[in-house]
Structure 1
Amino acid sequence: MSSKRYHLFEVYGIELEYMLVFNSFKPAAIVDKLLTKKAGELTSDLENGDIAWSNELVAHVLELKTNGPTTNLNGLSELFHKNVLEINKLLKGMDAHLLPTAAHPLLNPLTDTELWKHSYSEVYELYNRIFNCKGHGWSNVQSTHINLPFFDDKEFEKLHAAIRIILPLIPGLCASSPILEGENTGIKDSRLEYYKTNQKEIPELTGLVIPERVFSKVDYYATVFEPINLAIKPHDTNNILDHHFLNSRGAIARFDRNAIEIRLVDIQECPKADMAVCVLIIEVLKLLVNKKLALLHDQKQWTKEDLFAILNPIIKEGENYTISNLEYLKLFQVEESVTVQVLWHHLFNLVKEHIDSSHHAAISIILNEGTLSTRILKAVANDYSEQNIRKVYLELADCLNKNELFQP
């Protein structure tokens, strides 16, 4: 999002994170080499037409993002895919390629983690000193970020209220991290399981993942940013960290660019799946913001504790979790206990006519055949040998190359 202010749902910003792996399947800490090869000189970010590329905290993760705000969500799958193909072509000469999903299933964070060593590295080094970034929660967490604009406090209030309500349901739509270090973790969204605690040394940064009940800029600064700034002060003696950067809730307010960034989406197997997920989430948010499902007053009542109590088991069970909190379900005009999968079906039916038909098939596969985690586990079929896991994930890399959904 740029410094220009936009109204609700006027523009969007989408970010996709991918891991680079060698053909041996080991993480490839060569993002600097890739960016240098493309730009002709070492850079930490570059513009490639409508899509920009940039580095991340660890040297084996690359972020692709819309190059500024975009109005066109329906063309993004093709744009991202074009960039994926170009990157894979550049990586071919380095015996490497992109790997989708939110977590590499065989990565050992102690031996396979290398921090980005170039621009901004003093920030990453400070993070490493405070939190020790050699863990899955730092080096093995690829996500999709959805940036949505708000014009003023009034719009922020509506958008923040709606986003807080939908956050618990997100892992039941897009969990894609069921395997770590060669084992089924028993958790559909292992990325978020780590996300909850990877900054436990300074709990003010992540809070309870679900943001606090704050609906104005002044309240947000007082409730979220001030405790963060106080907590980080003893560690950040040179004042190099910014509170916008430090805030690690599942959705963060970016008052520097008047947007809210949703961070709970696991990246999928291909841009077609990512954009289907993003479009569905955005259309349901529109229903909430426009009070088509529940009144703003009712949305604002929910505490972070009550919403976290719904999110937490969905991180573990994904779409199979049965929501029995009838007050929560009432927000979506559902009157009896349902699984997360059934609830998403219900929500898709409500918004289907507003979603471009190019996304319908992908959404149907996700809703009918399960989250990517469920489909990965089905493909692995209880054979957790390194050889079999690698085989399944190379199929996922092939889905990324072809921009096709994974259907084992």
Structure 2
Amino acid sequence: MPTLEPVTPLLKLRAFAGYGIELEYMIVDHRTLAVRPLADRLLIGPDGAVVNEVDHGELAWSNELVQHVLELKTNGPAESLVGLGARFHRDLVEINGKLAALGAGLLPTAMHPLFDPARETHLWPYGQNEIYEAYDRIFGCRGHGWSNLQSMHINLPFYDEEEFRRLHAAIRIVLPLIPALAAASPLEQGRRSAWLDNRLRYYRDNQKAIPEISGLVVPEPVTGIEDYHRQILEPMYAAIRPHDPNEVLSDEWLNSRGAIARFERQTIEIRVIDLQECPAADLAIAEAVVELVRALYKERLAGFAAQQALSTEALAEQMWRCGEQGSQAEIGSEALLALFGCDRPLTAAELWRKLLEDGLAVSPTAAGMLERIIVRGSLAEAIVRRLGSVPSEEEIRLCYRELGLCLAENRLFLS
């Protein structure tokens, strides 16, 4: 969904000179874990009125499509990802303190495991809600993938045409590998999903009525900004127009590919990363993603032409495999493996380990966290090992209460 009041733009920054991070959390009852539509109690402006966003120093808090989700984001560009997890955690502790007085708290992971969207959805009724109303009218937002999804977004700046096309090419290659590290949505309404990254499956499918909006999620290769408008934005605007005659949705944020250009703030926004159990894990994964994008951008692993040559269909197929199987998904594409200097098929976990061992430039703290994630498997895999294939509702509640403790203590969940 679009961020209606974007943070201070990352304008005219060179590539990798700043970072925008967004984290989304479900608000739930402290005892039952049922969703609580309380975001408006946290988003109060100076005059006492409900607003879409409040400034909180280095971070900002904002609304999303529904009243039971709260987003935290960098309030303008962060100079570094290092230490940012602790900054997010401080605000999360404060928010949990405010919600505790209401018998509620924040729940991590990318999908609520018991939520019934047809019965429990509370759409955001305040400022600029005409956009949400248009989405609801066209697509029906009382479903998983609309009112039940929490993700991390990463915004990476570009300075000019050349930086844009190189950044876009690099991000295309990295997207399919992300679910292997980040899958965190294995349950749907109390049942084990067929995918470990079930949020990604809904992200892929929930706007299929107008396929130009999301394409194959992995964006098409483009030669520059004009080509991006011609290939991606203009067909999308034409496709939505019969459903949106007042052009409420005719903006670049309508694009639902896994990475989208945000030209008004000169960034590319990566949108396919499941929310983890704690900010320390989120920001470690963010470092891994950003540093792999940087290595490709600087052509340390493969040249621009080789990156552009990988077909969107092949990259999308790899993404679906990682979304379904997590860290144990096979990387079977010879062309993709060749970009990373591999001459045999590997699991996604083996590939991420190789990249880290080959010198992916993450911080020591992130490297330690990523090693633990690779050994454990994605959070979804850890949850499934804990719960088995047919868990009871009470077993699910116990597990997700522990995940809530992981958020409160900023620590990894172990199965």
Alignment of 1:17 onto 2:34: no
Give the superposition deviation at 1:186.
2.4
Q: Which moved more, 1:148-157 or 1:376-385?
A: 376-385
Residue aligned with 1:329, SS: helix
Question: For 1:360 and 1:44, how far apart are their aligned partners in 2?
Answer: 36
Give the superposition deviation at 1:111.
0.4
Q: Which amino acid aligns with 1:142?
A: Q
Cα RMSD after superposing both structures: 1.3
Give the superposition deviation at 1:34.
2.2
Give the superposition deviation at 1:256.
1.3
Give the superposition deviation at 1:2.
1.2
Question: For 1:4 and 1:39, how far apart are their aligned partners in 2?
Answer: 30
- Tell me what 1:378 maps to: 385
Residue aligned with 2:242, SS: coil
Residue aligned with 1:233, SS: helix
Whether the 8 Å CA contact 2:214–2:255 is kept in 1: the answer is yes
Question: For 2:397 and 2:366, how far apart are their aligned partners in 1?
Answer: 29
Give the superposition deviation at 1:135.
0.8
Give the superposition deviation at 1:38.
9.3
Pairwise mapping of residues 78-97 of structure 1 onto structure 2 (< 5 A)? 78-97=86-105
Give the superposition deviation at 1:361.
2.2
- Tell me what 1:31 maps to: 39
Q: Which amino acid aligns with 1:384?
A: P
Pairwise mapping of residues 224-373 of structure 1 onto structure 2 (< 5 A)? 224-352=232-360, 354-373=361-380
Question: For 2:164 and 2:10, how far apart are their aligned partners in 1?
Answer: 16
Residue aligned with 1:262, SS: strand
Question: For 2:43 and 2:172, how far apart are their aligned partners in 1?
Answer: 36
Residue aligned with 1:400, SS: helix
Shift of the 38–26 alpha-carbon distance from structure 1 to 2, 3 Å rule, reads farther
Give the superposition deviation at 1:406.
0.6
Match among 186, 206, 225 for residue 217 of structure 1: 225
Question: For 2:62 and 2:348, how far apart are their aligned partners in 1?
Answer: 34
**Deviations along 1:97-129, whole A, 9 cap, x unmatched?**
000000000001100111100011111011000
Q: Percent identity?
A: 44
Whether the 8 Å CA contact 1:160–1:215 is kept in 2: the answer is no
Whether the 8 Å CA contact 1:153–1:215 is kept in 2: the answer is no
Alignment of 1:391 onto 2:384: no
Give the superposition deviation at 1:85.
0.3
Whether the 8 Å CA contact 1:46–1:53 is kept in 2: the answer is yes
**Deviations along 1:324-363, whole A, 9 cap, x unmatched?**
21121000111100001100101111235x3221222211
Pairwise mapping of residues 4-153 of structure 1 onto structure 2 (< 5 A)? 4-23=11-30, 24-36=32-44, 40-153=48-161
Shift of the 393–38 alpha-carbon distance from structure 1 to 2, 3 Å rule, reads farther
Q: Which amino acid aligns with 1:149?
A: P
Give the superposition deviation at 1:40.
4.0
Give the superposition deviation at 1:296.
0.7
Unaligned residue ranges in structure 2 (runs of 5+) = 1-7
Alignment of 1:405 onto 2:412: yes
Residue aligned with 1:46, SS: strand
Q: Which moved more, 1:162-171 or 1:236-245?
A: 236-245
Residue aligned with 1:234, SS: helix
Question: For 2:403 and 2:122, how far apart are their aligned partners in 1?
Answer: 24
Residue aligned with 1:36, SS: coil
Give the superposition deviation at 1:37.
9.0
Give the superposition deviation at 1:364.
1.1
Question: For 1:280 and 1:125, how far apart are their aligned partners in 2?
Answer: 36
Give the superposition deviation at 1:3.
5.6
Q: Which amino acid aligns with 2:95?
A: I
Question: For 1:76 and 1:242, how far apart are their aligned partners in 2?
Answer: 33
Question: For 2:303 and 2:50, how far apart are their aligned partners in 1?
Answer: 51
Q: Which amino acid aligns with 2:21?
A: I
Question: For 1:108 and 1:18, how far apart are their aligned partners in 2?
Answer: 17
Give the superposition deviation at 1:72.
2.0
Q: Which amino acid aligns with 1:400?
A: L
Q: Which amino acid aligns with 2:166?
A: K
Give the superposition deviation at 1:51.
0.5
Paired residues, what number? 407
> TM-score, structure 1 length as denominator?
0.97
Alignment of 1:185 onto 2:193: yes
- Tell me what 1:202 maps to: 210
Shift of the 392–254 alpha-carbon distance from structure 1 to 2, 3 Å rule, reads same
Residue aligned with 1:237, SS: coil
Whether the 8 Å CA contact 2:134–2:248 is kept in 1: the answer is no
Shift of the 79–174 alpha-carbon distance from structure 1 to 2, 3 Å rule, reads same
- Tell me what 2:4 maps to: none
Residue aligned with 1:191, SS: helix
Whether the 8 Å CA contact 1:380–1:389 is kept in 2: the answer is yes
Give the superposition deviation at 1:168.
0.6
Q: Which amino acid aligns with 1:252?
A: I
Shift of the 374–47 alpha-carbon distance from structure 1 to 2, 3 Å rule, reads same
Give the superposition deviation at 1:239.
2.1
Whether the 8 Å CA contact 1:81–1:271 is kept in 2: the answer is yes
